[in-house]
Chains A and B, each alone.
Chain A
Amino acid sequence: MTTVLTPWARRTRTGGLGTPRRHRPPLLIGAGTLLVLLFALAGPLVAPHSPTAQLAAPFQQPDGRFLLGTDVLGRDVGSRVLSGGRTIVLTALAGTAAAGVVGITAGVLAALASRRLGDLLLRCVDALAVLPALLVVLVLAAGFPGSHTALVASVALATVPFSTRVLRAAADTVLSSGYVEAALARGDTRWAVLRHDVLPNIAGPALTDTALRLVASLHLTATAGFLGLGPGGATPDWGRMVSENVPGATLAATPFLAPALLLVLLSVCVGLLAGRLADTVGRGAG
């Protein structure tokens, strides 16, 4: 009885984590996410001017020709904003995908291996987690200047430790469950157990974890752009646009506010969506 009573008591008396939430599908956040992703991915196709050409004097106020004015080098802010999201989104997606594959593999392997080997693997992963994510990105950017692959790899590397830990815990729970024992006892191979029992059952945690990693990856990728890491030059990038145009903040606001607000929209929508997903999966599992 106590197991039934406790959560209920927690909910009514203390509120806290057990507070029931309204089960509304996150339509608004979902629509916002789709909109800003569409803007970022399809933007370069509809940009009215070249995003890299110097077309007018720097920091011109918005007018009929340049809807958002011009930036520090006299380039069209509107076209740069339309073209500057694609790299961030694609890099973050690539980094997340890489981190997801490595994290799931390492997590499941750590759970399947003997306890000591698994612990050793986690120890190595934890050593990496000591470094702040941005430090990993900066060090790799110094070693491989201007390399896009290095940027993706460092974003993945920085987010992998946490995934490995979460997925190992999830796989451990599944592996110690009755149905896995039953499957092994009736002679299923480890591979079959992995495919039919373990992987489907850690799909929920894996999905949530990947979503949270995507939030972190977007954060890192935008910051890397701001710090001028990764492929440089005149390529438009929302992060770099902010760093280029903040010094001229008193002359023109749109050149840095437009990309900054788009980054807010992107990260907030994806962040809230990931949080909602984590809540839903957590509730389903608990």
Chain B
Amino acid sequence: MSLIAFVGRRLMGAAVLLVVLSAAIFAATAVLPGDAVSAVAGMDASDAQRAEVRAELGLDRPVAERYADWVAGAVRGDLGRGFVGERPVTDVLATRLPNSLLLAGLTLAVTAPLAALLGLWTGLRGGGADRFVSTAAQVLAAVPEFVIAALLVAVLAVWLELLPRVSVIPLGGTPLDVPHALILPVLTLSAVGLAVATRLLRVSAADVAATPYIEAARLNGVRGVRLAVRHILPNAAGPAVQALTLTTGALVGSAVVVENVFDYPGIGRELQLAVAARDIPMVQGIATALAGVMLLVLLTGDICARLLDARKGHQR
């Protein structure tokens, strides 16, 4: 199968999955329409007012019909307007998603090389250092992100007074205007990413190290850095890409939490605010967009793994 056919097939699969997931998200948020009404009309609205609001928001129609409308709009690039402040959902996505992607990109730039080094080192050497790093990663992965963030705040922002506690971004500016506001969020996310990625990469490195091919290289006297770079790294690249894909996936969830801790103006913060305000169209739009991002990450990972595979085939 050529690469284009492969990508095409995977894209189709991802599109179908996105439709299924959006339907699930829509169903989960739309089964209790009464609550969306009280969020907009207020808790002590009269029955007549509630009925009026319900008709105004189109909530008196069946769920399937509303979903069909929503999909028709979504295809044209219109995800509707939020209940709160009447903001178009696509506008919010367009302004907030880049900020979150910046956060994720910086985190990956910090995490990937460090995790690759740690993973290779511990996977190959074993012994006390391996046990220590593995246990540390296990501990770090178990602790919720907001607790790590709170502890970092306690040490770096309150005790040592080195960094701002919240990310105050000037109106209309981007987070890049205030780089020091990015440090704490990126640091927290990197800790989480490192914990996930190191463990996965360590397993890949150890698996490759146990193959007869590496055994032969060892017996031929290849060792140390040369062994790691020339023989193990190329063979561990496929699993490593998978590991980084999984890490990126984990970061999407963690970013929601971290953005909330530091009031960082990203898409996760908007999602949490929308959930708190029962702003259903906003929740549906953002959740579907995040599902789309996840599918895209997985797809990219698959394509990279395939390319690496193809290259290996060439060499043989």
Q: A16 near B123 (CB under 8 angstroms)?
A: yes
Q: B126 near A142 (CB under 8 angstroms)?
A: no
Q: A223 near B146 (CB under 8 angstroms)?
A: yes
Among the 9-residue stretches B2-10, B50-58, B249-257, the one with 4 or more Cβ atoms under 8 Å from chain A is: B249-257
Q: B127 near A226 (CB under 8 angstroms)?
A: no
Query: In the complex, which of the residues B142, B146, B276 contacts A270, with contact meaning CB atoms closer than 8 Å?
Result: B142
Whether A242 touches B275, Cβ cut-off 8 Å, given contacts A19-B126, A132-B294, A138-B283, is no
Q: How large is the interface on B (under 10, 10 to 19, 20 to 34, 35 or more residues)?
A: 35 or more
Measured between alpha carbons, how far is A109 from B290 in the docked complex, in Å?
31
A200 within 8 A of B: no
Measured between alpha carbons, how far is A58 from B272 in the docked complex, in Å?
26
Among the 9-residue stretches B71-79, B87-95, B149-157, the one with 4 or more Cβ atoms under 8 Å from chain A is: B149-157
B210 within 8 A of A: yes
Q: B158 near A275 (CB under 8 angstroms)?
A: no
Q: B25 near A139 (CB under 8 angstroms)?
A: yes
Measured between alpha carbons, how far is A143 from B17 in the docked complex, in Å?
21
Measured between alpha carbons, how far is A229 from B291 in the docked complex, in Å?
20
Among the 9-residue stretches A96-104, A168-176, A181-189, A253-261, the one with 4 or more Cβ atoms under 8 Å from chain B is: A253-261
A145 within 8 A of B: yes
Measured between alpha carbons, how far is A10 from B123 in the docked complex, in Å?
12
A interface, over-half SS: helix
Q: B144 near A263 (CB under 8 angstroms)?
A: yes
Question: Which of A134, A140, A250 is packed against the most chain B CB atoms within 10 Å?
Answer: A134
Q: A249 near B157 (CB under 8 angstroms)?
A: yes
B interface, over-half SS: helix
Question: Which of A138, A139, A275 is packed against the most chain B CB atoms within 10 Å?
Answer: A139
A215 within 8 A of B: yes
B135 within 8 A of A: yes
Q: A131 near B272 (CB under 8 angstroms)?
A: no
Q: How large is the interface on A (under 10, 10 to 19, 20 to 34, 35 or more residues)?
A: 35 or more
A121 within 8 A of B: no
Chain B residue contacts of A268, Cβ below 8 A: 139, 142-143
Measured between alpha carbons, how far is A246 from B154 in the docked complex, in Å?
9
Query: In the complex, which of the residues B209, B249, B252, B290 contacts A16, with contact meaning CB atoms closer than 8 Å?
Result: B209
Measured between alpha carbons, how far is A91 from B151 in the docked complex, in Å?
24
Chain A residue contacts of B205, Cβ below 8 A: 16
Chain A residue contacts of B250, Cβ below 8 A: 132
- The closest CB in chain A to the CB of B127 belongs to A15
Q: A264 near B147 (CB under 8 angstroms)?
A: yes
Q: B144 near A223 (CB under 8 angstroms)?
A: yes
Which A residues, 25 to 68, have Cβ-Cβ distances below 8 Å to chain B?
A: none
Whether A271 touches B287, Cβ cut-off 8 Å, given contacts A219-B144, A227-B260, is no
Q: 12 pairs across A/B with beta carbons < 8 Å?
A: A13-B218, A130-B17, A134-B254, A135-B291, A138-B275, A139-B25, A140-B28, A143-B30, A143-B31, A226-B260, A242-B146, A246-B153
Q: Which 10 A/B pairs are nearest by Cβ-Cβ distance?
A: A15-B126, A271-B142, A132-B253, A16-B206, A134-B253, A143-B29, A142-B283, A267-B142, A19-B126, A143-B28
Which positions in A face B, CB cutoff 8 Å?
Answer: 6, 9-10, 13-19, 21, 127, 130-135, 138-145, 215, 218-219, 222-223, 226-229, 239, 242-243, 246-247, 249-250, 253, 256-257, 260, 263-264, 267-268, 270-272, 275
**Given A14-B206, A131-B294, A247-B165, 8 more pairs with CB closer than 8 A:** A13-B218, A16-B209, A133-B253, A242-B147, A243-B261, A249-B154, A250-B165, A253-B154
